[in-house]
Structure 1
Amino acid sequence: MKLHFLEPLYARPGPIVSVCLDTSRDGDDPDRAIELRLRNVRESLRSQGADEATIDALARAAGSDRDVAGPHGQALFAAQGALVLAERLPEPPALSSARYGMLPDVLPLVLQHAPAFPYAAVLLHRVHTHEPGGGEDEVELDHETGHWPASRVAPDPRVHRRIPAEDWPKEAEQLLAELVEGVEGEGTEAIVLAGDPSTVNSLIRAAPRKLRDLFVKLKDGHPRRPEPGRALLEAELAGLFAGRLPAHDRHQLDTYLGQRARHPEYVEGIDASVAALQRGQVRALILDRPVRHTRHLWVGWAPSHLALASEELSAFGLRFTWEEPAAGAALIRAAAGTQAELIVVPEDELPIADGVAVLLRYTEV
């Protein structure tokens, strides 16, 4: 997963407020529930020394995702009296969190965005219009793209069209061109098809070879319509992508395993990971899920200012450093600031010492 969406958080120095909040709208009085959670967040931030202007900026954004139905949350970041970033969370946090510190606490956010599986969803229905004179058959098309699982509550804009059935072959040609563009531009790895079987089959038959291996045809020909603000075919995608990594991530993990087999001391564990991030040598930061980082790290202003002890940074001539209690925040900033990617893998699938490892861009041995 690329981390460029975090860039606004690192464009200005801290301190910064980081909040994860349950903003679900599936209860009896969601606005009241959100307000109560926000009240507790405000009190926590005040006790940590956050200024009122910054707290107010964050509070104004809390619950602003009213267009999203069902359970979900928000990750909110504010500094110097202004909102810096607001992202939707596909799952509500079990408990609201609020932190005021020098680095944004982005770990809960990136864990909910990973693995960022790129896909397209297409839903096709046949409908008959009842009009004076008999009406006509039409094809109703919904087409949406996204990166799972963040797209559960933040999908790309949906294309919705209704066309006469006789014009479907021409419309199918246009849709296939859009799908090819997604594969070539966004790296789409799965194209999920559902709806009227005959219409879906006609699309598959007309598809170029490069798309056919990516098609996933759902057995249920009549999936339910999505709730407001949520992904097309959400329930079906959840089952399809459960435990699945993008091919790009799998390839990188294979390369990492080769590096670990030769020189584990350079790629596995917190010591090796910190040393590689210091040098800007990391192609991908790898985290086990669940994350269990309890060790504090020392950091400075730059992303590569990262160490296990203050003496290491002092040796580099840094005058201002601090102990960062959230190791994940320091590791993610270092990865994002050195253009490294993030891979999150289940611990039972790939156990890693300290739960953290790195894929190196190059090796010196």
Structure 2
Amino acid sequence: MHLHWLKPLLGRPGPFVTVHLDASPAQVAGESGPVDRWRSVRRELERDGVPAALLDEIADRVAQPDGRRDPHGRVLVADADGVVVDRVLLAAPAASRGVYGPVPALSPAVRATDESVCLLLVAVDRTGADLRWVAADDGEDHGPASETVDGGHDDVHKQREGGPGRRGQTRAEDSWQRNAEAVAAAVDQRVRDRHPDLVVLTGDVRAVALVHDALGQQVRDLVVEVPGGGRGDGIHEDVFASRVAEAVDEARARRRATHVERYREARGRDEGAVTGLDDVVEVLRRGQVDELLVASRVLDGALTERTLFVGPSPLHIAAARSDLADIGVQDDEVRELPTDVALLRAVVGQDAGVTFVDDDVEVVDGVGAVLRWADGSTPSESVPTQSADNRRLRSVG
């Protein structure tokens, strides 16, 4: 799970206002909506001394509908210049809240992002398809949330067999095939442009099969066929939505399992992965990390209670101030940040990803990393090379 949406925050000075909002629309008359929930959060931020002009800008953002009717969340981050991040989240927070402090309070939003799955829903029939993006909350404007693909061949009705009717059947089947190819080409292009996590294919059974066969291999690897959807009337929306939710859950589990398996295989070879806070900080500073693994149990505990030292660059990260001095960072450029903030800052700075893992994944100090590359000086459990080796070797049986 990548965090490109956090990049606008890099290099900006504090203080920051971070708002985690339940942005779900009111379901019944008289129920509180996003604007009402924001008013409660605003009163708290006013007591903390946040400038009124900044709160007014956030209020204007909240008042603009985000177009979603299902339960969801929203995170907004602002500094003295205004709102820097405004992102819709798949899950609503347990409670809306605002934080005013020297660094953004992003852990809840990052955890919610790890749960999100960018989904392209493709409903097909024998004339074309409707394409709809669901939970595509990467914070970037890629184009329309939905579109229609017209295959362009409208001779799609078979005639009875025999004589001229056979030619009619052939023409109809040829139209189905060409329309399916047009839909597949459009889907291939959208996947290249927007990189969804999952493509759900549904609709007319014959058309689904033809489109699936015409897709490129990159898309086929993402496709799940889910029955019950389509372009016409008579769709049982609740049943279909439940089936899609199951497909999304499976995709989320596969994504997490892929990163965990890479981590375990690399550790088994003692090459390409590290664990323990000291070693993770070391490889982050060297720009080696491809995916950071964080135990969910430590995100709101141990990682927020400890601190790390950082410099002007996101890759300036260390457990000790002296480590930054050794690489040329001036003392007046050094800041002390909560560990979770410093780690996320370094991850974003090297375009790495983050995966939250359960207790069955062995990560010392609650953190581990899968590496892009390694060399002889990379921290290793079998070849002590760093000052923290004695602490690291405690986990080697």
Give the TM-score range, shorter chain.
Answer: 0.7 to 0.9
Name the aligned partner's letter for residue 342 of structure 2. Answer: A
Name the aligned partner's letter for residue 317 of structure 1. Answer: Q
Name the aligned partner's letter for residue 22 of structure 2. Answer: D
**Kept after mapping to 1: 8 A contact 2:22/2:73:** yes
Q: Does 1:180 align with 2:188?
A: yes
- Alignment partners' CA distance in 1, 2:254 and 2:365: 25
- Alignment partners' CA distance in 1, 2:251 and 2:360: 11
Name the aligned partner's letter for residue 275 of structure 2. Answer: E
Question: Between the two proteins, what is the percent identity of the paired residues?
Answer: 28
**Kept after mapping to 2: 8 A contact 1:54/1:82:** yes
> Which residue pairs with 2:364 in the alignment?
353
Q: Any unmatched runs of 5+ in structure 1? A: 127-138, 227-232
- Alignment partners' CA distance in 1, 2:84 and 2:219: 39
Question: C-alpha displacement at 1:322, in angstroms?
Answer: 3.7
- Alignment partners' CA distance in 2, 1:305 and 1:352: 23
> Which residue pairs with 1:330 in the alignment?
342
> Which residue pairs with 1:67 in the alignment?
67
Aligned-residue RMSD, C-alpha: 3.6
User: Between Structure 1 and Structure 2, which shows a larger proportion of strand residues?
Assistant: 1
- Alignment partners' CA distance in 2, 1:156 and 1:294: 39
- Alignment partners' CA distance in 2, 1:196 and 1:104: 48
- Alignment partners' CA distance in 1, 2:311 and 2:221: 47
Residues 265 and 318 (structure 1 numbering): CA distance in 2 closer, same or farther, change over 3 Å? farther
**Kept after mapping to 1: 8 A contact 2:41/2:96:** yes
* Structure of larger gyration radius: 2
Question: C-alpha displacement at 1:3, in angstroms?
Answer: 2.2
Aligned residue for 1:75, secondary structure, equals strand
Mapping of 1:125-140 within 5 angstroms?
125=125, 139=127
> Which residue pairs with 1:129 in the alignment?
none
- Alignment partners' CA distance in 1, 2:270 and 2:129: 52
Aligned residue for 1:244, secondary structure, equals helix
Residues 246 and 314 (structure 1 numbering): CA distance in 2 closer, same or farther, change over 3 Å? same
**Kept after mapping to 1: 8 A contact 2:119/2:200:** yes
Residues 94 and 202 (structure 1 numbering): CA distance in 2 closer, same or farther, change over 3 Å? same
Question: C-alpha displacement at 1:204, in angstroms?
Answer: 3.4
> Which residue pairs with 2:243 in the alignment?
236
**Kept after mapping to 1: 8 A contact 2:263/2:273:** no
- What is the TM-score of this pair, normalised by structure 1? 0.78
Question: C-alpha displacement at 1:176, in angstroms?
Answer: 0.9
User: Between Structure 1 and Structure 2, which shows a larger proportion of helix residues?
Assistant: 2
Aligned residue for 1:267, secondary structure, equals strand
For these two proteins, the number of residue pairs brought into alignment is: 343
Aligned residue for 1:27, secondary structure, equals coil
> Which residue pairs with 1:82 in the alignment?
82
Question: C-alpha displacement at 1:71, in angstroms?
Answer: 1.0
Q: Does 1:317 align with 2:330?
A: yes
**Kept after mapping to 2: 8 A contact 1:297/1:309:** no
> Which residue pairs with 2:381 in the alignment?
none
Q: Any unmatched runs of 5+ in structure 2? A: 157-174, 377-397
